[in-house]
Structure 1
Amino acid sequence: MPDTTYSVLPAELDLAFVKGDEFGMTLTVENTNLTGYSFDSRVYALTSVNAGGGLGGGISVAAGNTVVAFTVTPVTVTAGIVNVSLSEVQTDQLSATGKYRWWFRTITPGNVTRTILSGDVTSRAP
C-alpha cells in the first residue's frame, strides 16, 4: 500500500539581502482570487532553547519575537498578485549574524489563515 500524505505545509522560499537596502518581491498565489483577503508577513528571530539538558538533551530552535513586518501591497488581487517589501530602515534592523525566518500568510474573508510561504532570512553587510 503506497504511503500518502495530505500536506498543507507552506512552500519554502529563503530570502537574502543586504542590510540597509530596500527589499521587495512580487508574489503570485496561483489559482486564487485574493479579493477581500488580508495578509500577514513577518520576519521573526529564532531563539535557542535547551530541549532536555543532560545526557541525550539538545538544543532546539523556536520562533521568537517579530523583528519587522513586511508591507503587503495588492497588485492584481483577482489574479492573486501582491507585492511584499521591507524598507531600508527595516532591513537595517536585522543583524548580519542573526538567525531569522519569515512567513507570508493569507487570511480569507471568513478568517481562515493559511501560511503560503516561509523560509530562512539572511541579512548581510554590504
Structure 2
Amino acid sequence: MLNSLTQLHSIAKERLRLQEERLRYKQQLPEDKLKQEKQKEEHLKFERQKKERSKNEQKLQTENYRPQQQKQINPYSTNNNSWSTRNFWSNNSSNGSSEKVYVQGYRCKDGTWVEGYWRSNK
C-alpha cells in the first residue's frame, strides 16, 4: 500500500511538473513571437539604412566623378580655340546682316570645357 501511495505521489508530481511546463511554454510563446517580430523590424530597419547609405554613397561618387570627368584632358583632342575664332570670322564676313553669331565651345588650359553660345554681332 505504501508503495502504491508513493507511485501515486510521483505520478501526481510528474503531472504537476508537466502542467507547469505547459504553462511556461504557453506564456513564452507570445514573448518569443514579440522577440521575433522585434528582430524582424530591426533587420528591416537595418536593411533600409544600408540601402539608403549605398544610394547616398553612389550619389556622392557620381557627383565627385562628374567634375573629374570634365577636367580630364584628351591628348588626342585639338585646340578648338583657333577653329571657333575662324568660324566666328567666317560667319561674320559671309553674312553681314546676321544679328547673332554662334561661338563654338572650347577647352580651357586647366582642362575644363566651355560650352558654345550665341552672341550678338554688334
Q: Normalising by structure 1, what TM-score?
A: 0.26
Name the structure with the higher strand share: 1
Which has the higher Rg, Structure 1 or Structure 2? Answer: 2
Say which structure, 1 or 2, has more relative contact order (CA 8 Å, 6+ apart).
1
TM-score by length of 2: 0.26
